[in-house]
Structure 1
Amino acid sequence: MNDDVFNMELRKFLKQVGVTSQRAIEQAVQKALADGKLTGTEVLQAKVVLTLEPLGAIHEVTDSIALE
């Protein structure tokens, strides 16, 4: 394994995850606000599940996102 290549590929993947996840959360919150499903004062519970299927590895991150 080439550690430099692996590190660069991992960073690229995590950047894509971060950017696309932020966009998805922002769009979901904006739609829920527009639809009246949120007032804008909520604290949302969020969970991300990372799966490396060939390795049988699962990593979960759970946290809250305050809107105000």
Structure 2
Amino acid sequence: MSDDAFNMSIRKFLKEVGVTSQRKIEETVRNGRIGGKTLKVRMTLTADDTDLNHVVEGEIELP
């Protein structure tokens, strides 16, 4: 696989993760399943048959 094809494959995956995650967060906020002024979030990236375990944490300000 070329580096360009590899890069495009990663970008495609990350785009899907970003779009679907945003929809789920918006749905959660719309349905009122949270309280407070911020939503604490955590994303964990793992890959089968590897030791990859990358965690990103953050807060999203609510309307």
Matches within 5 A, 1:6-45: 6-32=6-32, 37-38=34-35, 42-45=37-40
Measured in 1, the distance between the counterparts of 2:4 and 2:52 equals: 22
**Percent of aligned positions with the same letter in both sequences?**
44
Instruction: Structure 1: give runs of 5+ residues left out of the alignment.
Output: none
Shift in Å, 1:23: 0.2
Instruction: Structure 2: give runs of 5+ residues left out of the alignment.
Output: none
Q: CA RMSD in A?
A: 1.5
Greater share of helix residues, 1 or 2? Answer: 1
Shift in Å, 1:53: 2.1
1:47 and 2:42 are equivalent in the alignment: yes
Runs of 4+ in 1 over 2 A off after TM superposition: none
Q: Report how many residues are paired.
A: 63
SS at match of 2:49: helix
SS at match of 1:32: coil
1:57 and 2:52 are equivalent in the alignment: yes
